[in-house]
Amino acid sequence: MPTNHPAGSEPAPEADASPTAPPDAPSGAPSGAPPDAPSGALSGIVVADFGRVLAGPYMTMLLADLGADVIKIERPGSGDDTRAWGPPFADGQATYFLGVNRNKRSVALDLADPEDRAAARAIVDRADVLVENFRPGTMERLGLGFEEVRRTNPGLVYCSVTGFGTDGGASLPGYDLLVQAMGGLMSVTGEPGGRGTKAGVALVDVITGLHAGFGILAALRHRERTGEGQRVEVSLLGSLLSALTNQASAHLGAGVVPRAMGNRHPSITPYEVFEAQDRPLVLAVGNDRQFRALCERLGRPELAVDDRFVTNSARVAHREALTAELSGALGTRTADAWFEELTAAGVPCGPINDLAGAFALADRLGLGARVPEEDAGPGQVAHPVRFGATPPAYRSAPPRLGEHTDEVLAEIRPVDNSNAGR
């Protein structure tokens, strides 16, 4: 396995300068943001982004949407692996890369070259945040490890994303599919008795990116109070185990080893897919009130007072009998008809949409889930968080490889004032 394989990947192989410290605390890192730096909640935060593929780039894009100046450092010639991950393509670029790299500046540097490595170090010395997902030990060998760079930038928040941590799992490659398998997610996904099914997207990478962003913001808050940077470490396996929530707590708290149940829930019913007259319909009934409303609308009020179904625990114990009763009633009308009637009654339900249907729904609900192409290029999903005072901004399309190399190097190059005043 190559030593620089990124963790957080699918198979393929951040007004002023930095946050102000309290009066008696040491200052943080000097900001390297250009004079025309964007506004936003994270305006003035500079991110040296060595991350590749998904977990790191997704997280740094979200930071960039909020005003951070993200400098994406890439290999000359090829760049981020996902630049080649197509089809599909849009405007000649892989949509995979386009989906997680807007609002960034791309700098092409060969970290094996001493001059380019010195330029990367200069970027890091002016940064507030560094993000990397190399195999553990790689940044140290390049002279860009945390202990090395903190000597010249003590306020740096240094975020490392790994597959299985930096101790016993340091040598394991950080593939999303591998972590879904070894971390237990596939064992609770898919049909009962199956051999395990992966999620339809690299979900572990996405969750890990969100955890990394959470950690970075907490570390920046600490630096604001103390002037002190720190290392933030996030692993794919640790993030997945946390995200398994109820399934993980069932195991740790009650000794249960959960298994795949298809579209059913281990602790709630009816909470699964049913067949309406024309297509599948999901019911997500979470309490007894909703169950009684469901039974009324289905014309089966007697089910709500049946001892087998009167409480959630009873319904779980008699799941098969309840499913048979509900299936017969739901098969008499279309999914859309049931959606209208049951939703009006406060019963959570809905059809299974494809992505076209999902975006159409978001459009109808006024969620603004699409970024206009003229703002950030094709294929952009909007930042999911709404802010009342500092909304996300879409300033630029995903960069071409090395598009901002000269611009960024000019910013970090020392100014020669030897002839000033002559």
Q: Where in the sequence numbering do the catalytic residues fall?
A: 205
CB 192 within 8 A of CB 261: yes
Closest C-alpha among 55, 38, 50, 103 to residue 79 = 50
Contacts 24+ apart (CB under 8 A), 33-37: 33/69, 34/69, 34/407, 34/411, 37/67, 37/69
At how many degrees (to 10) do helices 236-243 and 245-254 cross? 80
Q: Which two tokens stand for residue 276?
A: 């309406």
- 329-to-176, 297, 299, 303 alpha-carbon distances in Å: 41, 10, 8, 12
CA distance 194 to 196: 6
Sign of CA dihedral 184, 189, 194, 196: negative
- The alpha carbon torsion through 306, 311, 317, 318 (nearest 10 deg) reads 30
Name 276's Cβ contacts closer than 8 Å, sequence gap at least 6: 330, 331, 333, 334, 335, 337, 338
Closest C-alpha among 99, 54, 98 to residue 236 = 54
Cis-peptide into 34, omega within 30 deg = no
Q: How many CB atoms lie within 10 A of CB 319?
A: 18
**Greatest CA span in the chain, whole angstroms?**
97
Name 207's Cβ contacts closer than 8 Å, sequence gap at least 6: 239, 240, 243
CB 279 within 8 A of CB 351: yes
CA distance 38 to 419: 33
As a residue count, the chain comes to 422
